[in-house]
Amino acid sequence: MNAQTLPLPPASQRRIGELLVERQLATRADISKALAFQHQFGGRLGSILVRLGALSEESLLPVLAVQLDMPLLESAEWPQDAAAIRRVAEASGLVVDWWVDNGVVAWEVEGAGIVLVARDPLDPSINEILEQRLEPGRWSWRLVRSQDIDRFIDMAARAERSEEDFGDDDVSHLRELAEEAPVIELVNNLLAQAMDQRASDIHIEPEEQCFHVRLRIDGILHNKLTLPASRYPAVASRVKLISGMDIAERRLPQDGRLSTRVSGQDVDIRASAVPAVHGESLVLRLLPKERKDLSLERLGFTPRDLALFRTWAREPHGIVLVTGPTGSGKSTTLYGTLEEMNQRDRKIITVEDPVEYQVSGVTQIQAVADIGYTFARALRAILRQDPDVIMIGEIRDLETAEIAVQSALTGHLVLSTLHTNDAVSAFTRLIDMGVEPFLVATSVRAVQAQRLVRCVCPDCSEPAEVLPAVARLVAPLLDAASAPANWRRAVGCPRCQGTGYRGRLGIYELVDVTPELQELVLERATAERMRALAASQGSRTLREDGLMKARDGLTTVDEVVRVTGGLAAEA
């Protein structure tokens, strides 16, 4: 038998990197990068590959299960509550703190004995102690996602506290309520309705006599259901149960998540429970797995602004900032930019928290501040990865800002976000963080501020007249090529759920960093002076861009005023 026909050794005797390459889940280049990272920072190779964005944890776990001969944790085996974890901890003679500190959780599963999960189930010291404390042959390890392990460990940390407020009978009663058919149907219907209406969040809010269910659609909360307070415990228990929270814990905030299929769509759901006066306020964030079209053409840019933004994205170096409050579409703009520039001729690396979308051909890194893997630490590491383009989820502190500036000045294009109200405030924000003005002036290439406005419903909107103040604001922005005005007002119909609006688009303020603007930054000039200069060089404000889109019939003046502020100053 020659070498080519020799059988491969069993998977349990092979390295995880070999198995991943063989299954085409990672490339040899990915493995080499991960090994270099491991050499510098330590850690398990599989976890490093996930952190670097080479593959997902969901893809890694089945391969680890084969290599380690360790089964995956089935959903039916999940711990039902903190009491189940407490019972095993007490029987072992090990205090709960030992389990929490070592990142280990154990509970009993009918027909399977004691099931254990851990951040590192291969740790020899942990296994040695467990062999002494648990009955031989009655316990076994399972593999599960790290975020699920964190959730179980959180349950373990609450195990003793939960006992003070709830006995086993109370927990059993809550579980019975959550498993009743009418409650299951109600929660399932809420999820289906939210998905069908394109809601981003479900809010469940208890009051003294009732509780309300509200959906956030196109950025606005709409009341959808009000039920008696007597039905709230069952609904809350159901939500907490399916999202992996401890149904017995009602005094402390909890986070949970689940992946499911609703209305024919795969969706990730992140759940949050926060104790309030009349019960826990529950919020479910809906994240459809089917990625929306991220092309820049669909984001609401005017042709002029789109051409300018694309020019910035083709720059060889410098910082391009996208600013705005939470929920203004900054991440979507950056992802659309990455999709467009991802032509395989440039190395693109991102550092995000969290990674919202996975982009093929882009190395995406998840920052984990809880373990010290911050934006700044990740950025230092990726500068040795020969990147052409670096995307930083957010510049949050001076250290991250300084590394971004250093990267831009050493030949990298850096894309990132800041929380400022307009474009020119980005310069003063960086200076206030502690970055020297000359570094800001020489590194920042351009800034774009943005907001999201609702699109007027095309099925029911009607022509509208506008105030003289609005006409005066828009007049200087028009030229000979401008189309006739098409001002609209929102009416409401079944297609838009009676709101008069359906969908959203961006309004933008683009500021190109010219030599004149650099001089103002060096002088530490006020935002007002910078704003005036930008306007004199052709930059439109958010309000002006919004009003032009209202003139084109895409949104309404009322919606632009809601998002950007009143028009009293211009009246």
Instruction: Report yes or no on 553 lying in a domain.
Output: no
Tell me what pLDDT residue 355 has.
78
Instruction: Report yes or no on 24 lying in a domain.
Output: yes
Kindly state the helix (H) or strand (E) to which residue 123 belongs, with its residue range.
none
d(CA 250, CA 276): 9
Instruction: Report yes or no on 396 lying in a domain.
Output: yes
Instruction: Report yes or no on 190 lying in a domain.
Output: yes
Instruction: Report yes or no on 345 lying in a domain.
Output: yes
Amino acid symbol at 91 = A
d(CA 545, CA 508): 6
pTM of the model: 0.66
Amino acid symbol at 123 = D
Q: Are residues 54 and 80 in the same domain?
A: no
Tell me what pLDDT residue 375 has.
85
Instruction: Please report which confidence band the pLDDT of residue 569 belongs to, taking 50, 70 and 90 as the band edges.
Output: very low
d(CA 18, CA 411): 35
* Mean of the per-residue pLDDT values of the chain: 87
Q: Are residues 410 and 534 in the same domain?
A: yes
- Last residue in a domain, options 95, 130, 160: 160
Instruction: Report yes or no on 568 lying in a domain.
Output: no
pLDDT average, residue stretch 284-307: 85
Q: Are residues 309 and 444 in the same domain?
A: yes
Instruction: Report yes or no on 564 lying in a domain.
Output: no
CATH number of the domain residue 178 falls in: 3.30.450.90
* Number of domains comprising the chain: 4
Q: Are residues 245 and 130 in the same domain?
A: no
Q: Are residues 516 and 414 in the same domain?
A: yes
Tell me what pLDDT residue 366 has.
86
Q: Are residues 429 and 348 in the same domain?
A: yes
d(CA 73, CA 115): 9
CATH number of the domain residue 414 falls in: 3.40.50.300
Q: Are residues 269 and 128 in the same domain?
A: no
- Segments forming the whole domain that contains residue 323: 296-452+504-539
Instruction: Report yes or no on 178 lying in a domain.
Output: yes
Q: Are residues 118 and 187 in the same domain?
A: no
DSSP state, residue 238: H
pLDDT average, residue stretch 127-133: 90
Given a contact cutoff of 8 angstroms between Cβ atoms, the answer to whether 313 and 320 are in contact is: yes
Q: Are residues 524 and 432 in the same domain?
A: yes
Q: Are residues 333 and 423 in the same domain?
A: yes
Q: Residue 13 burial (CB < 10 Å; 0-12/13-18/19+)?
A: exposed
Instruction: Please report which confidence band the pLDDT of residue 164 belongs to, taking 50, 70 and 90 as the band edges.
Output: very low
Say if residue 321's pLDDT is above 50.
Answer: yes
Range name among 147-151, 200-204, 223-227 with the lowest pLDDT average? 147-151
pLDDT above 90: percentage of residues in the chain? 46
CB-CB neighbours of 262 under 10 Å: 18
Return phi, psi of residue 444, to 5°: -80, 120
- Last residue in a domain, options 220, 253, 288: 288
Tell me what pLDDT residue 482 has.
81
DSSP state, residue 364: E
Tell me what pLDDT residue 330 has.
94
DSSP state, residue 4: G
Tell me what pLDDT residue 244 has.
87
Q: Are residues 232 and 302 in the same domain?
A: no
- Last residue in a domain, options 255, 272, 288: 288
d(CA 333, CA 340): 11
Range name among 169-173, 258-262, 455-459, 530-534 with the lowest pLDDT average? 169-173
Instruction: Please report which confidence band the pLDDT of residue 6 belongs to, taking 50, 70 and 90 as the band edges.
Output: very low
Q: Are residues 313 and 363 in the same domain?
A: yes
d(CA 333, CA 323): 11
